[in-house]
Amino acid sequence: MNRCLNPPRTARRVESFIQECQEDVKNKLISEAYYILKSQIKNENTALDITVDNISEINSAPAPVSVPSIIFHTIEENSKLASQHDAYQFQPERQQVTSLMNHIRRISYNPRSALYYPTLVPAEEKRLAGCLLHCVYAKNNAIDKLGWPTLDGLVNFYSEGVNEHGFFMATLRSVNLCLHAITVKYNIDRRKLPKRGESCDLAFDVFDCISDHLTGYCLNQYE
């Protein structure tokens, strides 16, 4: 029996902010792509030494360095870079993002064990979805000034629109448990800024963990 007779507004809130956040993430990724390409081109251009007679002694341009996918960088690290390079087309389809959030593969877990088993998602899809979720959290005041999710903000985000006391307590318990588990997993120091890519991965894991526990509550899998 489903105990959540008064459904939370979380899904609608995520959906309502996803388009705006796609634009934010797109602009930051475009800026970072431009920054990476500019740095790579600069490194590949070597000056010709006119004092060298033997062509074999001339240093050839270095082989292109394998640059990690731009999705594997934080969305806030290069936020000060210009973002007007519209020649780059990066637009994650809304349908693809929604599909990812609704149909990502889950593995079974025992809610009574208080253990969190994360969703199995390819790393780049997880990073992109996590960046979008981090943006959604930020726009709903669930992120502190350094970029870490907060207990009060997440509880408000996940329980808004629900009047049932049991669901509110389940949300509080789930958020507290998940934040603790994720803090241990990433060895978080809340006095410091997130490392490269960390805020996006963390946002995805927090969303995944809390969603699993609240689903367990609504399906009466734990008290």
Q: What is the pLDDT of residues 90-120, one digit of tens each?
A: 344 455 455 544 544 333 334 444 445 566 6
Neighbours of 160 (CB within 10 A): 13
User: pTM for the whole thing?
Assistant: 0.63
Locate tokens 């803090």: which residue?
183
Encoded tokens for 119: 């969703």
Handedness of CA 26, 28, 31, 35 (dihedral sign): negative
pLDDT digits (tens, 9 = 90+) for 11-48: 777 777 887 888 887 777 777 666 667 777 776 655 54
Q: What is the DSSP letter of 117?
A: -
Q: Is 164 exposed, middle or buried (0-12, 13-18, 19+ CB in 10 A)?
A: middle
